[in-house]
């Protein structure tokens, strides 16, 4: 499961819609329309599913913990 994301038309930054979905299920869903409050520019953005994507965490088999690089 991941977060459905859209691009803020004012800043171009990716913003979360607050809707969680599975990527494959989202791609099979019917066309829909949404409205999201943008935490970046503080405006409401209307969007269609074709403009959105599912941001899912990358899971790598066998990786339990990965340290951040130093410095």
- Of 20, 11, 19, the residue nearest 39 (C-alpha): 11
Handedness of CA 22, 54, 63, 60 (dihedral sign): positive
* Residue 67: per-residue pLDDT: 58
The per-residue pLDDT for range 45-67, each reduced to its tens digit, is 999 999 999 998 776 666 555 55
Domain ranges of the chain: 2-55
Beta strands in 1-71 (DSSP E): 2-7, 14-21, 33-37, 44-48, 53-55
* Residue 68: per-residue pLDDT: 56
Contacts of 26 (CB under 8 A, 6+ apart): 4, 49, 52, 54
The per-residue pLDDT for range 5-36, each reduced to its tens digit, is 999 999 999 999 999 999 888 888 877 889 99
* Distance separating alpha carbons of residues 2 and 24, to the nearest angstrom: 11
């Amino acid at each position: 499961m991941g977060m459905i994301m859209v691009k803020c038309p004012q800043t171009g930054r990716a913003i979360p819609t607050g809707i969680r979905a599975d990527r494959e299920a989202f791609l099979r869903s019917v066309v829909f329309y949404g409205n999201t409050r943008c935490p970046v520019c503080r405006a409401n953005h209307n969007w269609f599913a074709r403009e959105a994507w599912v941001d899912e965490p990358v899971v790598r088999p066998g990786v339990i913990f990965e340290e951040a690089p130093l410095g």
